[in-house]
Amino acid sequence: MNKTIYDVAREAGVSMATVSRVLNGTAVVKEETKAKVQAAIEKLGYRPNAVARGLASKRTKSIGVILPDVSDLFHAEVLRGIEDIATMYQYHIILTNSDAREDREVDLVGTMWEKQVDGLIFISEKITPKIVKTFESAQLPVVLCATEDPEHRIPSVAIDNKQAGTDATRYFLNLGVDKIVFLGGPTSQPVTMERLAGYEKALADAGHEFNPAYVIHARDSHYQAGYDVSNEFLNSGLKADAVVATSDELVLGFLNAVRDRGGKAPDDVMLLSFENTRLTTIVRPELTTIAQPTYDLGAVSMRLLTKLLNDEAIEEYTVRLPHSILERTSTKR
C-alpha cells in the first residue's frame, strides 16, 4: 500500500505537479485532466501524506492547545468549542495538559514548535512574563483563551471578570442581602483577583463596608478545596447570607458544608457561581450563575486564531465576550 503522489501521476498519465494542483486547487487544471487525476486517486485509494505536505509547505494544518487539565469540566467544554471550529477550518488539535505549571507550559510551547503547529491556543491561570517571552521566541501565533495578558500584548478571548464580579455582587445587593461571602481560588489566580476587585467595587458603590473575613480563598478551584475552606469558614461562626463563588465546584463545596450542618439553600444561604458548566442544572438546587459562554470562549478563540493565520482583518485583539446572569433556584426564596 502507501501510494504516493507519484503513483497517482503515473496512473493518470500526468506529472506529480498536476496531481498536486488538483489536490490543492492551487492553479487551474483542465477539467478533463482533473477528471483523470481524480479517477486515479479513487482507483488507488490514494491519500496525501500530511507530514510530507507539512515539510514542503511549512504549514501543518495543526494547532496546539495547552491547557491545565482536560478532565476539568470547564476546560473540556472550552476544548470542544475549539475543536469544532478547528474542524470547520480543517485544522487538527494537538492537545497537552500543563497542570498550570509554568515550567511545563514553557516546555510545551517548545515541543509545540517542534511539531510545527501553525498556531497555539493557550489556557492558563496566569500569564507570566516568562511565558510571554517564550511565545515571542517561538514566533508562533498565539491566542489566549479564558485568560488575559495583563498588558494585552497577546490576543485573547475572555469575559470581563471584574465587571462580572460586580454584577454578581450587585445582584445580591439588589435583593437586599447583607452578608455576602466571596469564595475564590488562590490569590495567585488573576481571575479570582479580578472578580474579587469587582466584588469590592460593588460593595463600595453601595456604601457597604468591606469585611475581609468574608473573602475566602480555596487552594484550587475544585470541589474538595471549596468544601474544606467552607467548613473552616463556617466553623469560625461567621454567618453568610449569600455566596459569590468563582467556580461551580467551589460553590457546591460551600453548599455541602452548609448541608452537613443541617442548613439548606437557598433558604439559609443563597448561592451564585461563575462557570455555568452542566453541573449547574444537574444539582439541586439548580445554581444561579454568571453564564460564561464556555463553548464560545473556545470557538471564538479558534476563530480568532484562523484570522491571525490567514492575515484576515481583525477588529479587536482583546475580545471580551458578554456574560449574563442566569437566575436559578439557588437564589430564589
Partner DNA sequence: ATGAAAGCGCTAACAC
Partner DNA sequence: GTGTTAGCGCTTTCAT
Footprint of a copy of itself on this chain (CB under 8 A)? 1, 45, 47-52, 54-55, 60, 62, 69-73, 76-77, 79-80, 83-84, 87, 92-97, 110-111, 113-116, 137, 139, 223, 249, 252, 256, 259, 278-279, 281-284, 295
CB–CB of 289/245 below 8 Å?
A: no
333 is an interface residue for DNA by CB under 7 A: no
Please report whether residue 210 would count as binding DNA according to CB under 7 A.
Answer: no
The CA-to-CA distance between both ends of the chain, in Å, stands at 69
Q: Does residue 324 bind DNA (CB under 7 A)?
A: no
Q: Which of residues 22-41 bind DNA (CB under 7 A)?
A: 23-24, 26-30, 32-34
Q: How far is the CB of 150 from a copy of itself (least distance, A)?
A: 27
Asked if residue 21 binds DNA (CB under 7 A), the reply is: yes
Q: Are 313 and 285 in contact (CB under 8 A)?
A: no
Give me the least distance between CB of 234 and a copy of itself, in Å please.
16
Contact letters for DNA, residues 50-89 (x by CB under 7 A): --xx-xxxx-------------------------------
CA-to-CA dists, residue 288 to 241, 271, 280, 332, angstroms: 15, 7, 7, 9
Q: Which is nearer to DNA, 20 or 277 (CB)?
A: 20
The residue type found at 236 is S
Which one of DNA, a copy of itself, none interacts with residue 89, CB within 5 to 8 A by kind? Answer: none
The answer to whether the Cα torsion of 261, 172, 283, 247 is positive or negative is negative
Residue 245's nearest CA partner among 201, 197, 289 is 289
Binding residues for DNA, rule: CB under 7 A, are 2, 4-6, 13-18, 20-21, 23-24, 26-30, 32-34, 46-49, 52-53, 55-58
